[in-house]
Structure 1
């Protein structure tokens, strides 16, 4: 068996792990019998006998007892800031993640929540995870459903896409949505049939003022409590590096306050949203990006080009088979911002010399980005900028060839093959739905794709995400894109070492190698050995950040 040690002189380890499978995600040393940690860093990986020299009288010997040790998971894309508030919101995900099976079930959950928490009249109630695609008979949650039970509370039921939500009348009044309001470019305001009255669903650019105005923790005590609660959600999922995927200036100040207070137990990588960039740069110059400050770093800048395919706001070259979200005919979706604006924004980020994360779902949105890249990077198209196209769900094969040529990273989203495949089949057709997040082709073309949950769009469940990449089975039990399945190891790389590369952290994270941080996760089974359909049942037993256990599953 291969083994590797840190440079001499040998120091006694703080901890040595042994007695179970050790999956290194290091192609040069695929497995090991033991792993030693000193001062939060891996100092040796190899045979247990060879690691005996690292055992001192104070060394803690951890017997895995048949469980599996891996590098901790790295979150390639989620909305970390939302974890600070969802503990005080209602889960209305569709099964199996939640109880949202109909408008009535969602209202019932809201009613139960208000009663249990004794929420006073006039106080905003929020829920997350609403998915109209699973509502029976095509019914949608609307303002009337909410008004009937909550005439005195503003209610916002956030759409599962995170790109909008359903508002009741009190919330409409709070955020000034009226019949006279014009729908902004790139936005959606669903109107009550036969009238101009907003009927509940607000999406994309029309929703941005709502999103920006949502309540946030303000006092130091609130920020500390919310940060601890949010980060434990990631720790329980085996994640030690989280992603904040569209950071507004006010959100960044909250995160920086938490960092200054020293309460972060995981690393957080934040990407300021392009519309807030000038405000963020006032206190955070470009040279400060890419450097952790008490476990928080600015990773780059986020630009959004289109919406969500399940919300029918993603931008395609061909029309949706089912029309637009408001019944529009020949609907292809629209870009969030005009193309000329996007080109200038991409150029601005490239000139700042910081990484770009760009949201694009539909193939027309990806075409638009590629044109923006060619405009902004003219003369240096293939420079390694760690530009990442978040989601890239309906990327075409010819577009992935451009990714490879231009050194662009696709961060894919295989969970849609379970949660939204039926909606994509209805909206886009089976053939296009089957090429959703084509991880097999991406790998075969030499790319190093990452994979993500987009939490809170999907739950923080890394084993379910890995399962979706390996199996590509829908909620209805149908396989979407069997030719795009990957091996468990390839799927594991998409949530560890490939994410480290995305963040320019491959020298310190993502695999179990000497000199790297001891960011570890212990699972009750080895995902490389269990039956593929059983991967989703694997449990996180412990999460270790730089040698310190931050989560331990109760026995």
Structure 2
């Protein structure tokens, strides 16, 4: 049937309206912002333009950053305009090392932390905290175990670990498992030891120790390193998927409260990886989580496949806010727990140890070199936990051996903690491209303990030597290792800048760095550590709109009050995921 002229004209006009509507929509997408932040201090962490007056976001990425008049020109009637009211906005913090899965477990356990993060300063207070906690514990109700997290023998009045008998005084029938703040030691009561199958006939596992009575082989309840991790594996709550995802979300919520938009799960078990995959598939994650499963645990290697893993050196991609970044390897323990592997003896050895005691390693040299060689062949980025300088020697020697076997491959390997990194070891890190992720928060939490007990006055000055690293022309990151300490970004920043102990002493004044350098260590350099510097860590056009809003400017506030700054809001790809 032939159309009339009027009908043809009407069809043409309708088509024109559709085209114009599409052009208008495309024009807005290209020219107008979804959201703008202004009227505050915007720290970009971009040396080419360190500060800005306003920032615009479209589709989760930064569209413009600069002068307010220029950025505001991108506003239309649909743009959300956020008035900072003089507050400070900077890139969201990137977690250089932490354990988000275990932070959720910490949140569900009795808080045994000492001040300022808890109230436990004696064994009697620890016992009472467990008694008060037990009736309200979801974990006790569901799994029949009383869990406590964060006791610290260095901060207890008795200056020692509690014993099985002291935990039996809380409950002789219900298993009790309390975890040291280092997360490398723990104490079990008699019921927990029995459930775990540990008695006087149980041998110490390789890389671990079972504490014994003074004149017998009867366990006193204290477990170190691999003995502790094996016990934790047996006594860890066997949650269903819904319970486990809820616990993970509690950990995520604590991180975002402190301004982190990228979180790390730095020693995941395969089951934890699969759980986080399930949370991602269900759309449950608000922040990005990058996992580094423990290569010593069976089943880890099978996880290093697409969709969630990309080899080092390729652009990393998150799938529903989750990806696997590589592997984790642990070579020793904790200095505050006196299980780190040192080249020189501890200043004061633990009870029952000789004056020559210097800690111990947990993996033999051949196995370390073999793991690193496989990492290079498969392009796995590797995080290596090495606190003691002897463990760092082992790491350096093994990487030399691996690189000789597989030359020319850069997986940007990471030294995690490096508490007692020696000055003569720093050139080797630079030579081999090993990235140092250091732990200056120790200066506040355990600086006095290191001086008086662990390392002595001289060696304690050098813990987490950020000054030496910067002086050698290296970048570094500064982390919290949560749940070892709370993922408090302002406490991380303060400790990295000031290095002040609980007693008010500056520990290693020549290792201090400027506030701007410390912020880089928590943003742009942390993004670099994760191969994500092209999309995160600074406020530049095209990068993700990951922001944190602070109550004050850490670059200008009185230096020793940085830890008092409050995180007011955390923003992930332009959307608020936490408000104070």
Shorter chain as denominator, the TM-score bin is over 0.9
Does the 8 Å contact 1:373/1:381 carry over to 2?
no
Equivalent residue for 2:305, pick from 278, 285, 302: 285
Residue 218 of structure 2: aligned partner: 197
Deviation by residue 1:214-272 (Cα, 9 ceiling, x = unmatched) = 43564343234223222111110100111111111111111111111110000011001
In 2, Cα distance between equivalents of 1:466 and 1:237: 12
Equivalent residue for 2:270, pick from 234, 243, 249: 249
**Cα gap change, 1:550/1:355 in structure 2, threshold over 3 Å: closer, same or farther?**
same
Structure 1 residue 375: Cα displacement: 0.6
In 2, Cα distance between equivalents of 1:77 and 1:26: 23
**Map 1:226-375 → 2, pairs under 5 A:** 226-276=247-297, 279-285=299-305, 288-289=309-310, 290-324=316-350, 326-375=352-401
In 1, Cα distance between equivalents of 2:217 and 2:188: 15
Does the 8 Å contact 1:223/1:258 carry over to 2?
no
Tell me the secondary structure at the aligned position of residue 26 of structure 1.
coil
In 2, Cα distance between equivalents of 1:382 and 1:321: 41
Residue 149 of structure 2 corresponds to residue 123 of structure 1: no
Does the 8 Å contact 2:143/2:238 carry over to 1?
no
Residue 79 of structure 1: aligned partner: 99
**Map 1:113-152 → 2, pairs under 5 A:** 113-117=133-137, 119=140, 123-152=144-173
Deviation by residue 1:359-393 (Cα, 9 ceiling, x = unmatched) = 00111000011100011111666753210000011
**Cα gap change, 1:379/1:249 in structure 2, threshold over 3 Å: closer, same or farther?**
closer
In 1, Cα distance between equivalents of 2:469 and 2:403: 23
Tell me the secondary structure at the aligned position of residue 205 of structure 2.
coil
Aligned residues: 546
**Map 1:433-452 → 2, pairs under 5 A:** 433-452=460-479
When structure 1 is superposed on structure 2, of 327-336 and 303-312 the one drifting more is 327-336
Residue 570 of structure 2: aligned partner: 543
Q: Which has the larger radius of gyration?
A: 2
When structure 1 is superposed on structure 2, of 359-368 and 198-207 the one drifting more is 198-207
What are structure 1's unaligned runs of at least 5 residues? 1-6
In 2, Cα distance between equivalents of 1:368 and 1:8: 57
Equivalent residue for 2:246, pick from 225, 231, 246: 225
**Map 1:414-433 → 2, pairs under 5 A:** 414-425=440-451, 426-433=453-460
TM-score (norm 2): 0.91
In 1, Cα distance between equivalents of 2:172 and 2:237: 24
Does the 8 Å contact 2:168/2:190 carry over to 1?
yes
Structure 1 residue 522: Cα displacement: 0.2
In 2, Cα distance between equivalents of 1:76 and 1:130: 24
Residue 29 of structure 1: aligned partner: 49
Tell me the secondary structure at the aligned position of residue 166 of structure 1.
strand
In 1, Cα distance between equivalents of 2:254 and 2:335: 27
Residue 508 of structure 1: aligned partner: 535
Tell me the secondary structure at the aligned position of residue 132 of structure 1.
coil
In 1, Cα distance between equivalents of 2:30 and 2:141: 62
Does the 8 Å contact 2:101/2:247 carry over to 1?
no
Does the 8 Å contact 1:381/1:406 carry over to 2?
no
In 2, Cα distance between equivalents of 1:283 and 1:75: 22
Residue 119 of structure 2: aligned partner: 99
Does the 8 Å contact 1:122/1:153 carry over to 2?
no
Does the 8 Å contact 2:36/2:72 carry over to 1?
no
What are structure 2's unaligned runs of at least 5 residues? 1-26, 311-315
